């Protein structure tokens, strides 16, 4: 009887020790995740809080996070001075057209690399991978010279961005080709053989069978392409100097210069009380630039994560 009692005590003790250890590990895990998430969220939180501050809050060292009052007028001023409606249309147009080009060309190229055998296949795919490793800054000068000779600089059709996307190149085109190649490589060959027996040709098999089954990869490619083209600052700033052709991120320096000019004018006229600090409006304008992307991601978040799991990116 005493032995059974001692055995039960030891079992209970080991159970409580195991529960304590698991709870401690889980608490440490969540603490680490919270700390890492704060590192990434800190600039975003700082941007939102600072965009709602008044001029007095900006110069008050005691105000760090919570403004004394919410100043929504910063957003209206930033919207007007940023010419948001004009530049957001440029960004939307370019992002959608370039994304359509990436989906069309990269899916077709990835399918060819995954399902067909042809000469120099390995070499060509190696060159595709190299395009992922070579920064665009290293080839921007010959590209600019070539596009300038063709008359594409300051093109209203945004040809330097659109045409490479439809040719499987463009912004991160090599990555999208790799993405589709990985997905199509994991699909069984029996599906194409069954389609061939039923009389489907290569094009019909691709359009009616293989492409509809790659919805997860198509969604990942679409979301990433839209986000990367929307946030792209370097190439649009090189190819388009016309003020009416600028993308939304490229309009922020113009806003900063205009605010500095107004501030300098007020100081010269000794209107010290009318001087406005630029940080709040700049933060409001920056938040306006990323709002469309945030809304899109919040809507497609669940399907996007499922697409990442199914497309083979988790195995990279």
| Tokens of residue 226, six digits | 């839209």
Do 156 and 18 lie in a common domain?
no
Do 116 and 31 lie in a common domain?
no
Query: Are 98 and 172 within 8 A, CB to CB?
Result: no
Kindly report which listed range (60-69, 152-161, 224-233, 235-244) carries the lowest average pLDDT score.
60-69
Does residue 146 surpass a pLDDT of 90?
Answer: yes
In a domain, 76, yes or no: no
The DSSP annotation for 146-201 comes to: HHHHTT-TT-TT-HHHHHHHHTT-STTHHHHHHHHHHHHHTS-THHHHHHHHTT--
Q: What is the crossing angle of helices 173-185 and 121-133, to 10°?
A: 130
- Count Cβ atoms below 10 Å from residue 51 Cβ, excluding itself: 24
**Which one has a higher pLDDT value, 254 or 227?**
227
Query: Are 133 and 139 within 8 A, CB to CB?
Result: no
Position 308 scores a pLDDT of 67
Do 27 and 87 lie in a common domain?
no
| Tokens of residue 125, six digits | 């795919």
Do 108 and 224 lie in a common domain?
yes
Do 23 and 128 lie in a common domain?
no
The DSSP annotation for 108-123 comes to: HHHHHHHH---TTHHH
Does residue 268 surpass a pLDDT of 80?
Answer: no
Q: Quickly state the pLDDT bin for 82 (edges 50, 70, 90).
A: confident
* CB contact set of 99 (below 8 Å; sequence gap of 6+): 165, 221, 222, 225, 226, 229
Query: Are 53 and 63 within 8 A, CB to CB?
Result: yes
Q: Quickly state the pLDDT bin for 36 (edges 50, 70, 90).
A: confident
In a domain, 278, yes or no: yes
The helix/strand/coil state of 31 is helix
Classify burial at 111, counting beta carbons within 10 Å of its beta carbon; exposed 0-12, middle 13-18, buried 19 or more. buried
Q: Quickly state the pLDDT bin for 160 (edges 50, 70, 90).
A: very high
Position 153 scores a pLDDT of 93
In a domain, 56, yes or no: no
d(C-alpha 312, C-alpha 181), whole Å: 10
* CB contact set of 194 (below 8 Å; sequence gap of 6+): none
Do 166 and 233 lie in a common domain?
yes
- Range 168-196 average pLDDT: 87
Q: Quickly state the pLDDT bin for 309 (edges 50, 70, 90).
A: low
Position 275 scores a pLDDT of 44
Kindly report which listed range (182-186, 232-236, 249-253, 268-272) carries the lowest average pLDDT score.
268-272
In a domain, 139, yes or no: yes
In a domain, 64, yes or no: no
- Averaged pLDDT score across all residues of the chain: 83
Please give the residue range of the domain that contains residue 271.
82-315
Position 236 scores a pLDDT of 92
**Which one has a higher pLDDT value, 3 or 263?**
263
Kindly report which listed range (6-15, 36-45, 73-82) carries the lowest average pLDDT score.
6-15
**Which one has a higher pLDDT value, 283 or 256?**
283
Position 315 scores a pLDDT of 42
Q: Is 270 left (phi over 0), alpha (psi -120 to 50) or beta?
A: left
- C-alpha pair distances (Å), 160 with each of 147, 150, 171: 7, 10, 11
Does residue 277 surpass a pLDDT of 60?
Answer: no
Do 168 and 90 lie in a common domain?
yes
- Of 122, 223, 182, which is closest to residue 316 (Cα–Cα)? 182
In a domain, 67, yes or no: no
Position 272 scores a pLDDT of 47
Do 18 and 138 lie in a common domain?
no
* CB contact set of 40 (below 8 Å; sequence gap of 6+): none
Do 210 and 280 lie in a common domain?
yes
In a domain, 63, yes or no: no
Do 130 and 265 lie in a common domain?
yes
Do 92 and 23 lie in a common domain?
no
Do 10 and 146 lie in a common domain?
no
Does residue 232 surpass a pLDDT of 50?
Answer: yes
- Structure pTM? 0.82
In a domain, 149, yes or no: yes
- Of 307, 286, 161, which is closest to residue 232 (Cα–Cα)? 161
Q: What is the pLDDT of residues 91-117, one digit of tens each?
A: 999 999 999 999 999 999 999 999 888
- Of 159, 51, 169, 194, which is closest to residue 102 (Cα–Cα)? 169
Q: In the chain, how many domains are there?
A: 2
Kindly report which listed range (10-19, 156-165, 307-316) carries the lowest average pLDDT score.
307-316
Look up the CATH number of the domain holding residue 253: 1.10.3720.10
């Amino acid at each position: 009887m005493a032995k059974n009692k001692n055995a039960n005590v030891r079992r209970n003790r080991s159970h409580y020790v195991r529960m304590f250890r698991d709870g401690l590990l889980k608490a440490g895990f969540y603490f680490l995740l919270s700390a890492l998430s704060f590192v990434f969220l800190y600039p975003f939180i700082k941007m939102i809080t600072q965009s709602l501050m008044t001029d007095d809050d900006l110069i008050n060292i005691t105000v760090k996070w919570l403004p004394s009052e919410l100043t929504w007028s910063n957003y209206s001023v930033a919207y007007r001075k940023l010419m948001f409606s004009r530049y957001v249309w440029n960004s939307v147009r370019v992002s959608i057209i370039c994304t359509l080009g990436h989906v069309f060309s990269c899916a077709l190229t990835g399918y060819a690399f995954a399902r067909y055998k042809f000469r120099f296949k390995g070499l060509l795919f190696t060159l595709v991978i190299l395009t992922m490793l070579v920064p665009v800054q290293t080839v921007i000068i010959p590209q600019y010279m070539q596009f300038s000779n063709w008359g594409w600089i300051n093109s209203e059709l945004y040809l330097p961005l659109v045409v490479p996307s439809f040719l499987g190149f463009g912004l991160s085109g090599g990555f999208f080709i790799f993405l589709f190649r990985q997905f199509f490589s994991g699909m069984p060959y029996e599906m194409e053989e069954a389609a061939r027996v039923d009389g489907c040709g290569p094009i019909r098999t691709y359009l009616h069978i293989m492409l509809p089954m790659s919805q997860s990869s198509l969604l990942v490619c679409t979301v990433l392409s839209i986000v990367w083209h929307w946030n792209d600052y370097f190439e649009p700033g090189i190819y388009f100097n016309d003020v009416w052709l600028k993308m939304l991120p490229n309009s922020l320096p113009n806003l900063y210069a205009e605010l500095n000019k107004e501030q300098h004018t007020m100081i010269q006229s000794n209107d010290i009380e009318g001087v406005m600090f630029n940080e709040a409006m700049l933060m409001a304008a920056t938040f306006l630039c990323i709002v469309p992307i945030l809304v899109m991601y919040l809507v497609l978040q669940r399907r996007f994560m499922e697409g990442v799991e199914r497309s083979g990116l988790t195995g990279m």
